[in-house]
Structure 1
Amino acid sequence: MADSQDLSLRVVPEGGGELKALAEAFNHMLERLEAFLDRERRFTRDAAHELRTPVAAALAQVEAAEKGYLSQEEVLPAVKEELLRMKRLVEALLILAREGRVERVGLDLAALAREEAEAFGVPYEGPESLPYRGNPLLLAQALRNLLQNALLHGEGKGVRVVLEVAGKEAFLGVVDQGPGMPEEALKEAGRPFFRASRAPGEGLGLSVAQKVAEAHGGRLELLPNTPSGLRARLVLSLTAD
């Protein structure tokens, strides 16, 4: 395996007892390692493709200005927009690369949710206060992504921020009354660069939200709303360290 670098090779689990169990465990490790490397290669390929687009667009604008086809007044806003897109992509990729390492501090999850709701001009539903230990910057970014997703793909219909507590879990999310997402899209929506529609965007918003939830020992849930729309929420443990 070391010589060929072929992780599809497997050890034949012959014999019995501990030797066979070791071979099966080794094969299981190889399967997981092969799947991990496949995901990394796919992610790297997709990330390179997404970053290449704004770079090419910005370069084309600069070259057009150099040749006198466009004025600086025309070029600067377009280049700035592409650079901002690259900035959003890089920031999202950095969050995805954190691998669960986050610094946690004491915060008020209700105050954070209410602040983001006010910033987007949508109502907040939930408790007045909810103590929590987490990373406020990452949690705010995840909620912001859910809001942007609802306003864009949910067509801004009935968008509201909702914070609920059930047992030892907090549910922080966004509800909308837009067209919703097909069942197959709901299964794929957390994958980096996945787009359920042709609406503008990088396809990283829900992936980042999912990564932030996982970094806090939780998960991202995407559920159909009744009678229409989407309920996207971070499920966060209130007992996690």
Structure 2
Amino acid sequence: MTTADRERRRISARVRILLWLLLVMAVALASVAATTRSILLRDTDQRINNLLAQEAGEFANFEEQGFDPETGRRFTEPDRLLRVFLQRQYADLDEELIGLVGAPGTAPTQLIQQRDIPVALPLHKDADARRRVFDSPHPTGTLHRPEGEIRWAKVNVARYGGETAAAFVVAFHPGREQARADQVFRVLLAISGVALLMTTGIAWVVAGRILKPVRLVRATAAQLTEQDLTRRIPVHGNDDVAALAETFNAMLDRLERAFAAQREFVDDAGHELRTPITIVRGHLELMGDDPAEREETVRLVTDELDRMSRIVEDLLLLAKAERPDFVRPGPVQLAELTADVYVKARALGDRDWVLAEVADGEALLDAQRITQAMVQLAQNAVQHTVPGQRVGIGSRLRQGHVELYVADSGTGVQPQDAGVIFERFRRGTARRGARGSGAGLGLSIVKAIAEGHGGRVRLHDTDGGGATFTLTLGNPGTPGHPGTLATPGTLEEAHP
């Protein structure tokens, strides 16, 4: 599948947000409509049950306490009781009040009806339904018929002389009430559909405005190249999307600086390597048959090849400085480490070497890398001093940090050079007494080693003249961090 095919099949964030919003709203609105219908039906059932219970209770009370208005005495005939009661009642529109009279154990033979009601098949016209209600042993029930549901309640009339059986029946047809609830449900669904359509339009516009910076980020990222990292995203407001744009712009700033540094590094490295190659080629092309000339040419070529080898090794070392395992710290005795550096530095040149001070304690350091950095600083001091000048090496504990330093008594570093000498392939103005010139990577390696220990390298003037380079290592109060003190001790001074 090509990139273009994937682009065509990809659903945009705007559409996904809209679809999820519509899905959530549709579920919510459908739930509201269904809940409303359920509540209406429950209220309808409750009202019907109350009505049935009320009518049945009124008849039972009338049967117990009522008198025949013609005789002024208690009722003796069930049909007379039912007729008098029904004449005094006012039923609801969907309610039937009827009396059923029949012989014991037979279907009702006499029907006493209050009035007709506007339903497809009322109970008083449905003989089968009347029989089922009359024969039912239960006081209430529900009839499910094709013509419509009937909710009923029944009160059996006390038998008079044991010759007849009668019952008062109140029946309710809930069809219209249920239809009303269904109508409300359909209206709510229609309103929900309109609301969803309106929400679709509004959400589409709002999502587009919210995601506009995100689209700008995508468009900007698509237009970025290694040669053009100058585009930035305009930031509006102070919300999360604006924060995303600011973060992306900051990332672009870092990328632009990184690419610029990379290009500069490649240019400088190419220049530094091109020079010895040119020298080697020129001498080889001009080399004659004279043995002395050939010997001198071989010596010069070998020297330039050694310099190229050192440049490559330094570049590889700086590349390793980006790896997390560049520094492998372990417990190191500071006094022993300082003494070892001092002994190795003395072999670099004829100088007045001084072991200025020694810190007595233990710290988490990579002894090999620290030694490499200190020897490099000592070599730098040798290159910028003359025989007999003083070069001091020492270590100390200060405010929870470990400090190791190399102080020379040369002419120092020019102010304009102090900010650049730690950059790759940058060399300061030659100081008096400097002998030879490197590729400008030594102090960059020192800086990388210091930063690998969570510290830094500082430059300041030596009292009486010269330059002092100090490695400040570690983060106070961070156990286990490279450079952190393990067992701080006291400071001592020693001299050769």
2:289 to 68, 84, 92: 68
Equivalent residue, structure 1, for 2:332:
107
SS in 2 for 1:222: strand
Answer whether contact 1:154 1:230 (CA < 8 A) is retained: no
Q: Deviations over 1:72-129 (max 9, x none)?
A: 4222222221122112212221222121532223333332332232233222122265
- Normalised to the residue count of structure 1, the TM-score between the two structures is 0.89
CA 1:131–1:22 in structure 2 vs 1: closer, same or farther (change >3 Å)?
same
Number of equivalences: 240
1:187 pairs with 2:419: yes
Q: Deviations over 1:165-184 (max 9, x none)?
A: 11211111100111111222
Q: How does 1:1-40 map to 2 (within 5 A)?
A: 1-5=221-225, 6-40=228-262
Q: In 2, Cα distance between the equivalents of 1:72 and 1:189? A: 38
SS in 1 for 2:418: helix
Equivalent residue, structure 1, for 2:160:
none
Runs of 4+ in 1 over 6 A off after TM superposition: none
Per-residue deviation at 1:217? 0.9
Answer whether contact 2:458 2:472 (CA < 8 A) is retained: yes
CA 1:120–1:25 in structure 2 vs 1: closer, same or farther (change >3 Å)?
closer
Contiguous gaps of at least 5 residues in structure 2: 1-220, 347-352, 483-496
CA 1:213–1:75 in structure 2 vs 1: closer, same or farther (change >3 Å)?
same
Equivalent residue, structure 1, for 2:267:
45
AA partner of residue 136 (structure 1): A
Q: In 2, Cα distance between the equivalents of 1:172 and 1:15? A: 49
AA partner of residue 2 (structure 1): A
Q: Deviations over 1:211-236 (max 9, x none)?
A: 11001111000011122111101111
Aligned CA-pair RMSD: 2.2
Identity %: 32
AA partner of residue 131 (structure 1): E
Structure index of larger Rg: 2
1:209 pairs with 2:446: yes
CA 1:174–1:13 in structure 2 vs 1: closer, same or farther (change >3 Å)?
same
SS in 2 for 1:42: helix
AA partner of residue 24 (structure 1): E
Q: Deviations over 1:56-84 (max 9, x none)?
A: 2223333333x536644222222221122
Per-residue deviation at 1:145? 1.2
AA partner of residue 170 (structure 1): V
Greater relative contact order structure (CA < 8 Å, 6+ sep): 1
- Normalised to the residue count of structure 2, the TM-score between the two structures is 0.45
Answer whether contact 2:373 2:445 (CA < 8 A) is retained: yes
Equivalent residue, structure 2, for 1:153:
384
Equivalent residue, structure 2, for 1:118:
343
